[in-house]
Amino acid sequence: MKERTLLVIVLVTTALLAAGFWVAANVNLMPAEASTRAALVDQLFRAMLGLAAVIFLLVEGLLLYSVLRFRRSKGDEGDAVPVHGNRALEIVWTVIPALIVVVIGSYSFRVLAASETREADPIVVNIHSRQFSWSFEYPAEGVTSTDLHLPLGRQARFLITSDDVIHSFWVPEFRVKRDATPGQIAELLVTPSRLGAYPVRCAELCGVGHASMGLSSQAVVESPEDFQSWIEKTRALSNDPVTTFNTMGCNGCHSLAAAGAKGVVGPVLDGLGQRAGSTASGQDAATYIRTSIVKPGDQIVPGFADNVMPRNFGERLKPEQLQALVDFLMAQ
């Protein structure tokens, strides 16, 4: 009898482990891996998924066995035999889960430590979030973009912050997510491992235009040569008003046909040059537009909310960029 019981335990254990390995190897619930961090995270996730499958099948199997084996017999109206406990069994089902937690915790720490190890020369990207757009500044290269361009195989160091409310930087294919908090800098390390374009999403409800923050920007992983070519091209367009308009996130709130912008949070800017001169008493069109950019709280268009447009464009825009942007809006 004992040999039969031992054989059943061995067979059941083997079947459970085989099922766990199959689930870990064949069930894929994640998007494409596009970074070295993603490979580490997915390996951990598959291990946990396989272990969860083993535990699920074991618990549900024991539950089903108990229901069938110990069900009330037909005509049996007596009381069940009371069970006072089994010390050995209680020790087993306490120690094994504790060991599982320790193993998973240790493995997770190793993955985290490997993901957060900084290499010698990462490319630095300052990530600014605002209602309702992203901008990516490359301080060493002197360019800013609405898309996140990264060279394949080189580690990137993201310094993430917010100009207004709490946002959350999320690229699912990189397996990274980090909150962007006003007045704070959050650091994140990523090494791209797969060419392609991947959406940059906001994972924090940040206002009425929250959904658009998952549609306006992409993380573009390209070869080092293509990345350098993009840097040079973008640097040459640094004073282009359309580039400035989109890079500063104006397209996230405003609609302007000449810039391809379709925002619905702020006033429509088509025809602004024709009506700006009569909008504010004592101001010509150019002064009104310039003031609306650098001091947006001074001139709120009726029907639109205050404290939505960032207040720091006067600091972030170079004088020549600001002048080019004013001239561009005047011509609309």
Q: What is the pLDDT along the chain (332 residues), one digit of tens a residue?
A: 677 878 878 888 888 888 889 998 888 888 999 999 999 999 999 999 999 999 999 999 989 988 888 887 787 777 777 777 788 888 988 999 999 999 999 999 999 999 988 988 899 999 999 888 898 999 988 888 889 999 999 999 999 999 889 999 999 999 999 999 999 999 999 999 999 999 999 999 988 888 888 777 899 999 999 999 999 888 877 677 887 787 777 887 888 888 888 877 788 888 877 887 677 666 787 888 888 888 887 778 877 777 778 777 777 777 877 887 888 888 77
| Domain segments of the chain as ranges | 2-66+90-115, 123-236, 241-330
Q: What is the pLDDT of residue 226?
A: 95
Model confidence, pTM: 0.71
d(Cα 129, Cα 229) in Å, to the nearest integer?
Answer: 26
CATH 2.60.40.420, domain 123-236, yes or no = yes
d(Cα 263, Cα 163) in Å, to the nearest integer?
Answer: 18
Contacts of residue 123, Cβ cutoff 8 Å, sequence gap at least 6: 138, 140, 150, 151, 154, 155, 156, 157
| Run of H or E including 225 | helix 224-236
CATH number of 241-330: 1.10.760.10
SS3 238: coil
